[in-house]
Amino acid sequence: MDTIDPRSDPKSGGRLLPLTATVLVIVLLWYALTVWLNGPGAIERVLAPKGPWSWQDLVLSSWTLQRPVLPAPHQIAADFWSSLVDWPIDSPRNLLFHVAVTGQSTLLGFAMGTALGAVLAVLIVHSRTLDRALLPWVVASQTIPVLAIAPIVLVILGSLGFSGVLPKAVIAMYLCFFPVAVAAVQGLRSPQRIETELMHTYAASAWQTLWLLRLPAAWPFIFPALRVGVAAGLVGAMVAELPTGAQAGLGSRLLTGSYYGNTVQIWSALLMASLLGLLLSSAMAALEKWALRHRSRT
Amino acid (1-letter code) at residue 241: E
Coil, helix or strand for 177? helix
Give the span between the Cα atoms of 142 and 68, in whole angstroms: 36
Q: CB 208 → other proteins: shortest distance, Å?
A: 5
Q: Is residue 34 within 8 Å of 64, Cβ to Cβ? A: no
* Interface positions, 163-202, toward other proteins (CB under 8 A): 192, 194-195, 197-202
* 186 vs 190, beta carbon nearer other proteins: 190
Which one of 8, 56, 143, 298 is in contact with other proteins (CB under 8 A)? 298
Give the span between the Cα atoms of 264 and 257, in whole angstroms: 8
* 132 vs 289, beta carbon nearer other proteins: 289
Is 2 one of the binding residues for other proteins (CB under 8 A)? no
Residue 80's CB: how many other CB atoms inside 10 A? 19
Is 207 one of the binding residues for other proteins (CB under 8 A)? no
Residues contacting residue 34 through CB under 8 Å, at least 6 positions apart: 62, 63, 68, 70, 71, 72
Q: CB 198 → other proteins: shortest distance, Å?
A: 5
Is 212 one of the binding residues for other proteins (CB under 8 A)? yes
Total binding residues for other proteins by CB under 8 A? 21
Is 295 one of the binding residues for other proteins (CB under 8 A)? yes
Give the span between the Cα atoms of 110 and 153, in whole angstroms: 17
Distances (CA, A) of 234 to 107, 164, 166, 170: 8, 16, 14, 12
Q: CB 148 → other proteins: shortest distance, Å?
A: 41
| Stretch touching other proteins by CB under 8 A, among 110-118, 148-156, 175-183, 215-223 | 215-223
**Phi, psi (degrees; rounded to nearest 5) at 204:** -75, 145
Q: Is residue 242 within 8 Å of 219, Cβ to Cβ? A: no
| Stretch touching other proteins by CB under 8 A, among 22-30, 39-47, 171-179, 207-215 | 207-215
Amino acid (1-letter code) at residue 233: G
Q: CB 155 → other proteins: shortest distance, Å?
A: 45
Q: CB 124 → other proteins: shortest distance, Å?
A: 23
**Where does the chain have alpha helices with state H?**
13-42, 48-50, 55-64, 73-85, 95-126, 128-141, 146-159, 165-188, 193-201, 206-209, 215-241, 250-259, 263-291
Q: Is residue 265 within 8 Å of 80, Cβ to Cβ? A: no
| Stretch touching other proteins by CB under 8 A, among 71-79, 147-155, 216-224, 253-261 | 216-224
* 20 vs 205, beta carbon nearer other proteins: 205
Is 216 one of the binding residues for other proteins (CB under 8 A)? yes
Is 146 one of the binding residues for other proteins (CB under 8 A)? no
Is 287 one of the binding residues for other proteins (CB under 8 A)? no
Which one of 91, 127, 208, 258 is in contact with other proteins (CB under 8 A)? 208
Q: CB 67 → other proteins: shortest distance, Å?
A: 56
* Interface positions, 58-117, toward other proteins (CB under 8 A): none
Binding site for other proteins (CB under 8 A): 192, 194-195, 197-204, 208, 212-213, 216-217, 219, 294-296, 298
